[in-house]
Amino acid sequence: MNLIITCARHLEPETEEELRGFLDEFGDSDPKVTITSMSGILTAETKLDPVEVVRKIKEMLLDEPWSVRYCLRIIPIQRTVETKIEEIEKIVEELSDNISKEEKYRISIEKRNSDMSSQDIITKIAKKIKNQVSLEFPDKVVLIEIIGNKTGISVLKKSDILSTEKTKRSISE
């Protein structure tokens, strides 16, 4: 999986169709989209760059706010691992090269169907990253998305994650 999509409960089929339409338009006519067992959550595997997909959908949203109806949040995932703290640590260490020396970061964890302790994960990961932490104004976000036995990990700028509602609000301001 390299995209996590959230939607309103019970609108997963419509969201899947909308997402497939976007990906097809961007050049991936055969993405693997999965409606998870958790209400309101889909995952997708596309051959396209997930950060680029989010950027393009955000542009569409700014041009035509009505063009995105079902996708609420679209989160690009750079690596996927089994939900094990050692695996997560290893990948975060590799991806933390994307944080330059002067950049500040924060760790954000979203857990679904997991009883892993967020505090344990944060403590272990923070030891691996030497940069300064900024919870309010980070340059990069170390994103840990746990969905049952799979975990998606990304090191992104905040703007690389799409929240359609926040974007639509920013248009009307």
Residues 6 or more apart in contact with residue 86 via CB below 8 angstroms: none
pLDDT beyond 90 at 82: yes
Three-state SS letters, 47-83:
CCCHHHHHHHHHHHHHHCHHHCCCCCEEEECCEEEEC
| Crossing angle (nearest 10°) for helices 50-63 and 164-172 | 30
Please say whether the beta carbons of 162 and 77 come within 8 A. no
Look up the domain containing 27 and give its range: 3-77+161-172
- pLDDT band (50, 70, 90) for residue 13: very high
Domain total in the chain = 2
Residues of the chain with pLDDT > 70, as a percent, come to 100
pLDDT of residue 172: 79
Residue 30 binned pLDDT confidence (cut-offs 50, 70, 90)? very high
Query: Does 173 have pLDDT greater than 80?
Result: no
State the average pLDDT for the chain: 95
**Spatial separation of the C-alpha atoms in residues 36 and 44, rounded to whole Å:** 10
* Measured distance CA(156)–CA(107) in Å, rounded: 11
What is the pLDDT averaged over residues 19-38?
97
Res 171: pLDDT = 85
Interval 111-118 mean pLDDT: 94
- Over residues 88-98, the pLDDT tens digits come to 999 999 999 99
Residues 73 and 135 in one domain: no
Looking at the structure, tell me whether residues 70 and 84 fall in a common domain: no
Kindly state whether residues 90 and 129 are assigned to the same domain: yes
Domain check: are 20 and 51 in the same one? yes
Q: 169: which residues sit within 8 A by CB, 6+ positions away?
A: none
Together in a domain, 167 and 148 = no
CATH code: domain of residue 124: 3.30.2130.30
pLDDT of residue 163: 95
Mean pLDDT of 20-33: 97
CA distances in angstroms from 75 to 44, 103, 123, 127, listed in the order given = 10, 21, 23, 25
Band of residue 18 on the pLDDT scale cut at 50, 70, 90: very high
Nearby residues of 163 by Cβ (< 8 Å), 6 or more positions away: 72, 73
The pLDDT tens digits of the residues spanning 128-163 come to 899 999 999 999 999 999 999 999 999 999 999 999
pLDDT at 170: 87
Whether residues 64 and 102 fall in one domain: no
70 shares its domain with 105: no
Task: Tell me the Cα Rg of the chain.
Answer: 16
pLDDT reported for residue 139: 97
